[in-house]
Amino acid sequence: MKNIKFVVKVNRGGTRAPAYVQRVDPAPIHMTTDRKLALVMGRFTAEDAIKSLQNSHCIPELESVQVSS
C-alpha cells in the first residue's frame, strides 16, 4: 500500500539550487539541498512549515512523495 507524503521545497531565487526542509526544531527550520535527506511529513505539518517559511526571500511549495508502508 502506498501513502502520499510531502516534502517542502524552497526556491530562494536566482540560480541557487532548491533547498528542502530537513528538520523542524522549535526555533529554526534546518534546510538541505539533498532531496534524499528531506523530511517526509504529512500535509498539515508541511503546510505549517510553509507558513513559517514565507517571506520575501523564498518561495516554499509542496512536493508529493509516494511512500510504501
Determine the pLDDT at residue 41. 92
Q: Is the pLDDT of residue 9 over 90?
A: yes
* Rounded Cα gap, residues 42 and 66, in angstroms: 12
* Rounded Cα gap, residues 18 and 25, in angstroms: 20
pLDDT bracket for residue 59 (50, 70, 90): confident
- 3-class secondary structure, 48: helix
Q: Which of 3-17, 20-34, 37-51 has the highest mean pLDDT?
A: 37-51
| Cα distances (angstroms) measured from residue 24 to each of 32, 45, 48, 49, 69 | 12, 10, 10, 8, 23
